Amino acid sequence: MSVYVASILTNMALISFLALSAYLVLVVGVVSFGQQAFFGVGAYVTATVTSIYGGHAVTGVFIGMLSGAACALVLAILTVRLSGLYFAISTLCFAELCRLGLLQVRAPFDIDGRTTGPDGPEGFSNIRWIFEHNYSVQDFLVLTTVCLVALLGLLFLLERSRIMLRARLVGQDSILAQSLGLRPILYRIVFVTLSGGVAGFGGGLFALFNTYIEPNMFGVMLGVHGLAYAVIGGLGAPIGPLIGVAIDIGLLESIRAISAYRMIAFGGLVALLLILLPQGLISPRFVARMRRWRKLFHV
C-alpha cells in the first residue's frame, strides 16, 4: 500500500474519532459545535507528554483522552442549565476560547537540538515519537485502525445497554424521559464527557501521526465536518458516522476531478442527503427495522 493511500486512510480513521464523538453528543439530543476543542486538547496534551516529558505514546494518548474528557466534563457542567440552542452556541464559544487560549501559549523547548513544545501560532513541531520508534505510515494505519475497531467494539456493547436506550430516550423526548424517572442532565453530562474522551483520544493519535500541530487546525471547520459526518451517517448505530467520513474523504477526496470543488460538493451532498434522509443514512428507524427482520428470520 502506498504511503499516499495509507495516509488518507489514517486521516479517515482519525477524523472518525471526531465524528464518533459528535455522534455521542447527538444521541442525547443536543448539538455540539465544539468537539474540535477536545480533539485539539488531546493533541496538545499527547504532544506535550511524548515530546517534552519523553512519555510513551500510549501514556500520551491516554492522558490526552483524559484531558479531552475533563474539558468536556467542565463544559457539560457549566452548561447544565442551557437548552439545545444555547448549549450549541456555548460549545462553539468554548472551543474558540480553547483555540485562542492555545494561540497564547508560548513555551518552546529545545530538546536534542530541535525546537518543540507549544509556540503560539507557530504551533507545536517535532512531535517525533513515531519516527524515533520507527513506525512507518502503514504501521500507524494499522495501529489507528486497531484503536478504532476497539472503540467500535466498546460502543457496540454500550449500544446494547439500557443506558444507551435511555440516553436515546432522553435525546428524543426529554419530557417522557423525565416522566420515567430519568435525569436528562445526568445523561448529557455523561455522554458529553465520553465524547470528550473519544475526541481527545483521536486528537492524541492525530498529533503523533502529523508530527506538527497548531491551534488553527482545531477551528470551527473541523468541528463542523465531524458533526456533518455524524448527521449524514445517522444516529442509528456508530457505523453511521464512519460512513459519513467515508463519503466525504473516501469518495470526494479520491475523485481527483472534483477535489478542487470538494467543499462545494460536500456541502451540496450534505444538503441533498438531509433533504432525502433527514435522519441520516443509518437512522434509528433503519436499525430497528434491521433488528426486527433479523429476529423474524431467526438469523
Partner 1 sequence: MLRLSNLSKYFGGVRAVDALELNVKTGEIFGLIGPNGSGKSTTVNLVCGIFGPTSGSIELDGVDLKRQAPHQRIDAGVSRTFQNIRLFDDLTVWQNLWVAWRDAPGQEHSWFSNWFGRSLSRRHEIQKLLEFSGLGDKSNNLAGNLAFGEQRRLELARAMASKPKLILLDEPAAGMSSAEVTDLRQRILTMKEMGITVLLIEHVMELVMNVSDRIGVLNFGTLIAEGLPEEIQNNPLVQKAYFGSSENTSGGDTNAIDQ
Binding site for partner 1 (CB under 8 A): 160-163, 165-166, 168-169, 172-173, 175-176, 178-183, 284-285, 287-289, 291-292, 295-296
Q: How far is the CB of 192 from partner 1 (least distance, A)?
A: 19
Q: Toward partner 1, which CB reaches closer, 2 or 179?
A: 179
Q: Toward partner 1, which CB reaches closer, 57 or 169?
A: 169
- Closest to 166 (Cα-Cα) out of 152, 156, 176: 176
Q: Toward partner 1, which CB reaches closer, 4 or 297?
A: 297
Q: Toward partner 1, which CB reaches closer, 256 or 295?
A: 295
Q: How far is the CB of 216 from partner 1 (least distance, A)?
A: 40
Q: How far is the CB of 181 from partner 1 (least distance, A)?
A: 3
Name residues whose C-beta falls within 8 Å of residue 164's C-beta, 6 or more positions apart in sequence.
27, 158
Q: How far is the CB of 235 from partner 1 (least distance, A)?
A: 10
Q: How far is the CB of 73 from partner 1 (least distance, A)?
A: 21
Q: Toward partner 1, which CB reaches closer, 133 or 183?
A: 183
**In this structure, what C-alpha cell is assigned to residue 9?**
486512510
Q: Toward partner 1, which CB reaches closer, 168 or 188?
A: 168
Q: How far is the CB of 175 from partner 1 (least distance, A)?
A: 6
- Closest to 11 (Cα-Cα) out of 213, 294, 249: 249
